[in-house]
Structure 1
Amino acid sequence: MNGPYPFLISIPHSGTSVPPELRGLVNLTRKEIVFNSDPYTRRIYGFDDAVEAVVDFDVSRIFVDTNRAPYDYPPRTQDGVVKVITQDGTPVFRKGQTPGRELIGALLKNYYHPFHKRLSEALDTRPIEIAFDCHSMLPQSPPVRMDAGRPRPLFCLSNRGDRNGKPKTAGGLVTCPPEWLQALARSFQAEFEGEGRVAMNDPFRGGFISVAHYRRRRVPWVQVEINRGFYEAEGREAGEAHLAELQGRIFSAVAGFWDEVTG
Structure 2
Amino acid sequence: MKTINDKLPMLISVPHGGMTIPEVLQKKCLIDPKGISMDGDTWARELYDFRDLVEEYVDTDIARLVVDMNRNHRDLPPSNPDGVVKTMTVDGKQIWVQASGLSQREIQLLIQQYHGPYHERLQTASKNKNVLMGIDCHTMLDIGPAVGGNHWEERPLFCIGNRGTKMGNQLDEPTTAPRELLLQLQKSLEKEFRAFMPKETQQPLVTLNTPFSGGYITYYHGNNSDIPWIQLEINRKLYLPDDEKMSLIPEEFHRVRLNEIRDKLYTAFKSLF
TM-score by length of 1: 0.91
Give 2:202's aligned residue: none
- Cα distance in 2 for partners of 1:236, 1:27 equals 20
Matches within 5 A, 1:43-192: 43-96=46-99, 98-141=101-144, 147=150, 149-169=152-172, 172-192=173-193
- Cα distance in 2 for partners of 1:162, 1:97 equals 36
Equivalent residue of 1:75, what SS?
coil
Q: CA deviation at 1:23?
A: 2.1
Q: CA deviation at 1:48?
A: 1.9
2:225 to 217, 220, 231: 217
Give 1:16's aligned residue: 19
Give 1:193's aligned residue: 194
Q: CA deviation at 1:6?
A: 0.8
Structure 1 alignment gaps of length 5 or more: none
In the alignment, residue 244 of structure 1 is paired with which amino acid?
N
In the alignment, residue 155 of structure 2 is paired with which amino acid?
R
Answer yes or no: is the 8 Å Cα contact 2:138–2:233 preserved in 1.
Answer: yes
1:232 to 240, 243, 249: 240
* 187-196 or 109-118, which deviates more: 187-196
Q: CA deviation at 1:142?
A: 6.1
Answer yes or no: is the 8 Å Cα contact 1:10–1:54 preserved in 2.
Answer: yes
What whole-Å deviation, never above 9, does each CA across 1:12-55 have from its counterpart, x for those lacking one? 00101102232221111111111111121111111122210110
- Cα distance in 2 for partners of 1:36, 1:63 equals 10
Equivalent residue of 2:139, what SS?
strand
Q: CA deviation at 1:233?
A: 1.3
In the alignment, residue 183 of structure 1 is paired with which amino acid?
Q
Answer yes or no: is the 8 Å Cα contact 1:11–1:56 preserved in 2.
Answer: yes
Equivalent residue of 1:219, what SS?
coil
- Cα distance in 1 for partners of 2:168, 2:149 equals 23
Structure 1 residues 213 and 111: alpha-carbon distance in aligned structure 2, compared to 1, 3 A threshold: same
Q: Aligned-pair RMSD on alpha carbons?
A: 1.9
Answer yes or no: is the 8 Å Cα contact 2:141–2:235 preserved in 1.
Answer: yes
TM-score by length of 2: 0.88
Matched, 1:253 2:243: no
- Cα distance in 2 for partners of 1:20, 1:148 equals 39
Identity %: 35
Q: CA deviation at 1:173?
A: 1.2
- Cα distance in 1 for partners of 2:153, 2:240 equals 18
Structure 1 residues 236 and 106: alpha-carbon distance in aligned structure 2, compared to 1, 3 A threshold: closer
- Cα distance in 1 for partners of 2:261, 2:8 equals 19
Equivalent residue of 1:120, what SS?
helix
Answer yes or no: is the 8 Å Cα contact 1:25–1:98 preserved in 2.
Answer: no
Q: CA deviation at 1:149?
A: 2.5
Answer yes or no: is the 8 Å Cα contact 2:67–2:84 preserved in 1.
Answer: yes
2:216 to 199, 203, 208: 208
Count of paired positions: 255
Deviant stretches of 4+, over 2 Å: 145-149
* 110-119 or 88-97, which deviates more: 88-97
What whole-Å deviation, never above 9, does each CA across 1:152-202 have from its counterpart, x for those lacking one? 110000000011111124xx3100000110111011011111433111101
- Cα distance in 2 for partners of 1:38, 1:126 equals 30
